[in-house]
Structure 1
Amino acid sequence: MAPDVEAPLLAASSKPATAAAASLPRRNKYPFFCAVLASMTSVLMGYNVAVTSGAQIFMAEDLGVSDAQIEVLSGAINIYSLVGALLAGWTSDRLGRRLTIVLTNGFFLAGPLVMSLAGGYAALMAGRFVAGIGVGYALVIAPVYAAEISPASSRGLLSSLPEIFINGGVMLSYVSNFAFSGLPVHLSWRLMFAAGVVPTVFLAAGVLTMPESPRWLAMKGRRGEARVVLDRTSDTPAEAEQRLQEIEDVVAAAGSVAGNGNGGGGAWKEVATKPGVRRVLAIVLTLQFFQQASGIDSVVLYGPRVLAAAGVASNTLLLGLNVVFGVAKASSILVAMALTDRVGRRPLLLASTGGMTASLLALGSVFAAFGGARDDAALAAGAAVAVVVAFVCAFSVGIGPLAWVYSSEILPLRLRGQGAGVGTAMNRVVSGVVTMTFISLYGAITMAGAFYLYAAIAAASFVFIYACLPETRGRSLEDMEELFHTK
C-alpha cells in the first residue's frame, strides 16, 4: 500500500502550480513584515510622549522652566494630538495609508528637532505641538493600515502591534533618559529629544517599500494594483480573489467613484441616514471612552504617587516598581496578541474589563482598609503593588490593545480613516481629562474613592461589551458590513 500512497504525493509535489497546491493554506509572513514596519511609527509615538519624564529635570535647570510650565509641556501633547487624529482620516483617504505614515514620521522628525534646538519655553511648546500632531496621526494610521493589509487569520495579531510598540517606545525613552543623564545639563536633555529624530528618516524610507492598502487602492478604482497586493498578503490565491470581490462589493455599494475624492463627505452623510453606521460609530466612541475612563493613566503616569500613598517610602523602590509595571504591561500585550485570533475579541474584552473591575475594587479597598495608618504600611504597600500589577495586566491583555483592533475592524471602508480619527480624538480627550484631574480627584474623594469610581466605570464597560459587541474573529472586514448592517 505504501507505494500507492506515496506516488500520488510525490507527483503532486512536483507540480507546484496545481489547483490542489494553490488551494492549500500557507503561512504568509509578508503581511506581518508590512504591519511591523508600519507599526514602528508607534515606537516613535511612545518615545515622544514619555521622553519628557526624564528630560524635564534638566530643562528646568538649563532653561529655568518652572514646574507649572513643565506640567503643561508634558500633558498638552494629548490635546495637541487631537489635531493629528482629526486630520489623519482625511489625509489617509486622499494621500493613501502609506504616504500618511511617511507624513507621520515627518512630524516626529520636526517636532523633537525643534525641541532639541530650543532656546526657550515658546520653542519647546512649538516642538511639542508638532510632535503632538504626529502622535494623533500615529494612533489612527498604524492600526488602520495593519487591519487593511492583514488576512482575517492574523488580523487580530497584526492590529495589536501598534500597542506593543507604543510601550516599547516608552521603555526606550526611559533608557534614553538614563543614558544621557550623565552629560552636561545643557546637552543631556537636548540629546534625549534628538535621539528620536534619527530613526524617522530610515523608517520613512522603509515605509515607501511597503505596498499600499488594497482597500484604499480599490476605493480609488485601482483594481489591478489592489489585486497584486492581495495576492501578496493573502494566505491563498482563492482568499485573495474573495477579498478583492468583497472589497469591490463594498466600494460599489458605497457609490464610490475612482479618484473622485468625495467618499469621506458621503460617508459622513450616512451617519445621519443609516442606523447601522450610527451604531458602529457609537461603539467605536464608547469603546475608546471606556478604555481611558477606567483610569489606566492614573496608574501608569501616577504609579509612584499611588504607591507612596500606600506606604512605599523609598524613591529608588518607587522607580523600580514603575519599571515592573511597564514590563507587566508590555508582557500582557504580547499575551493578547497571541490569543486574540485564537480565543476571540469578545472573550478577551470581557475577561479584561472583569479583571479591571475586580482589581480596582481591591485597590480602593486597600486604601479604605489601611487609610493613613502606618502600623501596617508594609502590608498595605505589598497589597497595593500586587493589585496594581493585576490591574495593568488585565487592561493590557484585553481592552488596551483590542479597543484599537475592534474599532479598526468594524468601521466600514468608506468611513474607516475618518471614523478611526474621531475615535482616537475621543481616546485622547478622555486620557487628558483623567491625567489632569487625578490629583484633584483623590484630594476631593480620597484615594479609595477615586479607585472605586474607576471600578464603577470598568464595570459599566463590561456591561457595554457584553450587551453590544458581537464577536469579529475570523470575519473579513467586508463581512463586518453584513454583521453591523452598514451597507
Structure 2
Amino acid sequence: MIKREQHVVIAKDTKTRCSSSRPAMALHRPDAEAPLLAAGSKRDGAAPPTERNNYPLFCTVLASMTSVLMGYNVGVMSGAQMFMVEDLGLSDRQIEVLSGVINVYSLVGALLAGWTSDRLGRRLTIVLSNVFFLIGALAMAVAGGYAVLMAGRFVAGIGAGYALVIAPVYVAEIAPASSRGFLMSIPEILINCGLMLSYVSNFAFSGLPVHLSWRVMFAAGAVPTVFLAAGVLTMPESPRWLAMKGRPGEAKAVLDKTSDTPAEAEQRLLEIEEVLKGGVTSGGGAWKEVATKASVRRVLAVVLTLQFLQQASGIYSVVQYGPRMLAKAGITSKSVLLGLNILFGVAKAGSILVAMALADRVGRRLLMLVSTAGMTASLLVLGSLFAAFAGAKDDVAVAAVSLAALLAFVVSFSVGYGPLSWVYSAEILPLRLRGQGAGLSTAMNRLMSGVVTMTFISLYQAITMAGAFYLYAAMAAAAFVFIYTCLPETRGRSLEDMEELFHTK
C-alpha cells in the first residue's frame, strides 16, 4: 500500500459549496490585491487574475518527462517484437508476456513510490525512476535470450511504476487551482509522446540487420535518461514535502512561484500547515474510514471501476499489437505496418491536447461520455469488419476501413476517458485516503493493462479477432453506462467541495 499523504492543497478561499444537483461553477481565485480570507470562509464572484502564472507549467513539464520514458518503454515492444521473433525465435506466448509484463512489474514501483518520495523527496524519486529506465533499457539491448529480456522488463517496469505515481503527485502539489485539470493532463500526454517516439524508433531502425534492429530500439530509450535526471534537479522541490520536513520558509518560496497570486500562496501554506498540525493520517486510520463509512467505500469503488473499465476496453492491445491487427486486416509490408503505427502514436498524443484544452471548460463528465461512446462505436465497427471479412488478403477497402476504425478508437479514448479518468480519480478521493487511494487506482490500472496485453494473442486465437473486439466494445459500453449513471461533474469545484459532493465528510 502506498503510504503517502495527501498531494493536493487548494486555497480555502476558492471554496464554493456545491450540491450534486447544481451545475458546475467556474473556479474562483483571489485577486492580487484581495485580503487573505479566513480559513473556511466563502467567496463568490471573485475576478480571476488577468495573467496566469506559467512557472507551474515549466515545473510540470520537467517533472513529467519521466512519463516520456515510461511510454517509450511500454510501446517499443510493438514494433520490436517482429524482429525479436525472427532473431531469437521467441514464441507468441513469450512475446505476449514480454509485451504486457512491464505493466504488472510496474506495480512494484507504484507501491514503493509513496514511501520513497516521502523520504527522498519528489525530485530525487523522479531521478531514481530515470535510473531504473536506464538499467532496464541497457539490459534489454544486450539480452541474448528470454530470461535477460524478462529481467530488463522487470527493472524498466519498476521505473514505469515510479513514473506513473510520482509525476502526478508532484504536479498536484505545485498546481494552482486555476489550472489543475490542464497541468494534471500533461503526464498523460507525455506518456503518449513516449509511445509515439517508440513507434518512430521502430520505423527508423527497422532497416538495420535483424540482430541489431530491435536492440538499438531498446538502447535508444537509455539515451535521454541522464539528461532528464539532470534537468529535474533544476526544478523546485514540492512545497508539501518541504513543509512535511519542517522547512516552511522554503515551502513558502515555492508557493510564491507557483501560485496565481500572493494571497493564494499564503492561503495554500496555511492549509498545508493546518493539515500537518492535525497529524499525518496513517494507512490504518485511512482504511478504518473505508471500513466504517459507506460514502468513502463508494468513492473508492468509483475510482477502481473507472480504472478497471479504462483498460478492459482494450486500448493497450492497440498500443502493443497495432501492427499485428493491421496485418490481420490484410496489410503485409513491415515498413507500412510500422509507419502506420506512428500514425496511431500521433493520433493518440494529439487527441489528448483536445482533452487538456477542454477539461476545464466543458467538464470531465461530458468528455468522458463522448469518449466512451466513440470507443464503443469504433470497436463494434472493427468487430463487424473482422467477422465479415476474416482472412481477406490485399483488400484495400477492408484495410482502409480497419485502419480508420482503429484510429477512431484511439482518438476517442485519448480525447476523454484516457487522461480524464486519472484527473477525476485524483479529484474525488477524500483527503485522508488520497495517498492510499491513488496507489490502489494505479495498481488497478496497471494490473488490467497487463492482463489485457498478456492475453490478447491467446484471446483472439480462442474467440477470433472479431470476438476480441466485440468483448472490448462491451467493456467500453459498460464504461459509458457507469459514467452516465454514477459520476457527477467535478469541473469548477474545489477539492474540499468534492467531499461534500460525495458525502465523505
Shorter-chain-normalised TM-score: which range? Answer: 0.7 to 0.9
Match of 1:428 among 446, 452, 455: 446
* Unaligned ranges ≥5, structure 1: 1-16
**What does 1:392-471 correspond to in 2, within 5 Å?**
392-471=410-489
Distance (Å, rounded) in 2 between the aligned partners of 1:79 and 1:210: 31
Q: Confirm whether residue 328 of structure 1 aligns to residue 351 of structure 2.
A: no
Structure 2 SS opposite 1:154: helix
Matching residue of 1:473: 491
User: Which stretch of the first structure deviates more once superposed, 66-75 or 429-438?
Assistant: 66-75
- What is residue 288 of structure 1 aligned with on the other side? 307
**Match in the other structure for 1:139:** 164
The whole-number CA distance in structure 2 between the counterparts of 1:18 and 1:439 is: 58
| Distance across 2 between alignment mates of 1:212 and 1:303 | 39
CA distance 1:394–1:175, shift in 2 (3 Å)? closer
Give the whole-Å Cα distance in 2 for the aligned partners of 1:151 and 1:394: 29
Q: CA deviation at 1:27?
A: 1.6
Match of 1:352 among 353, 364, 371: 371
Query: Identical aligned pairs, as a percentage?
Result: 78
Listed as ranges, the matches of 1:302-317 within 5 Å are: 302-317=321-336
The aligned residue for residue 122 of structure 1 is 147
Distance in 2, Cα, partners of 1:309 & 1:178: 19
Shift of 1:374: 4.8
Q: Which residue of 2 aligns with 1:176?
A: 201
Deviations 1:397-455 (A, max 9, x none): 00111112222222334433332222111111111222222233333333333222222
Asked if 2 retains the 8 angstrom alpha-carbon contact of 1:108 and 1:131, the reply is yes
1:70-469 → structure 2 map (5 Å cutoff): 70-181=95-206, 188-219=213-244, 222-251=247-276, 255-257=278-280, 263-368=282-387, 370-372=388-390, 374=392, 377-469=395-487
Q: Is the 8 A contact 1:42 1:165 kept in 2?
A: yes
Q: Is the 8 A contact 1:28 1:235 kept in 2?
A: yes
The answer to which structure, 1 or 2, has the higher relative contact order (CA under 8 A, 6+ apart) is: 2
Quick one: structure 1 residues 211 and 49, their matched pair in 2 at CA, closer, same or farther if it must change by over 3 Å?
same
Once residues 427 and 353 of structure 2 are traced to their aligned partners in structure 1, the CA distance between those partners, rounded to angstroms, is 20
Aligned-residue offset at 1:236: 1.4
Residues 379 and 70 (structure 1 numbering): CA distance in 2 closer, same or farther, change over 3 Å?
closer
Q: Is the 8 A contact 1:50 1:173 kept in 2?
A: yes
| Residue 64 of structure 2 corresponds to residue 45 of structure 1 | no
Q: Call closer, same or farther: CA 1:70–1:154 in 2, change over 3 Å.
A: same
Rounded to whole Å, the distance in 2 between the matches of 1:266 and 1:21 is 36
Deviation per CA, 1:130-173, whole angstroms, max 9, x where unpaired? Answer: 11111111111212222221112211111111121112112222
Question: Which of 19, 35, 55 does residue 33 from structure 2 map onto?
Answer: 19
Residue 228 and residue 459 in structure 1: after superposition, are their counterparts in 2 closer, same or farther (change >3 A)? same
- In 2, Cα distance between the equivalents of 1:187 and 1:388? 30
- 3-state SS in 2 of match to 1:107: helix
* Largest Rg, 1 or 2: 1
CA distance in 2, matches of 1:237, 1:438: 52
For 1:283 and 1:32, how far apart are their aligned partners in 2?
29
Long gaps (5+) in structure 2:
1-30, 37-47
- Decide which structure has greater helix share: 1
Distance 2:324 2:141 in 1: 29
Give the whole-Å Cα distance in 2 for the aligned partners of 1:312 and 1:186.
Answer: 24
Which range moved further: 219-228 or 397-406?
A: 219-228
How many residue pairs get aligned? The number is: 464
Secondary structure of 1:209's match? coil
The match for 1:9 is: none
Q: Deviations over 1:219-277 (max 9, x none)?
A: 5554433332222111112222333344445555xx425xxxx7334323332233343
> Taking structure 1 as reference, are residues 115 and 313 closer, same or farther at Cα in structure 2, changes over 3 Å only?
closer
- What amino acid is aligned across from residue 457 of structure 2 in structure 1? I
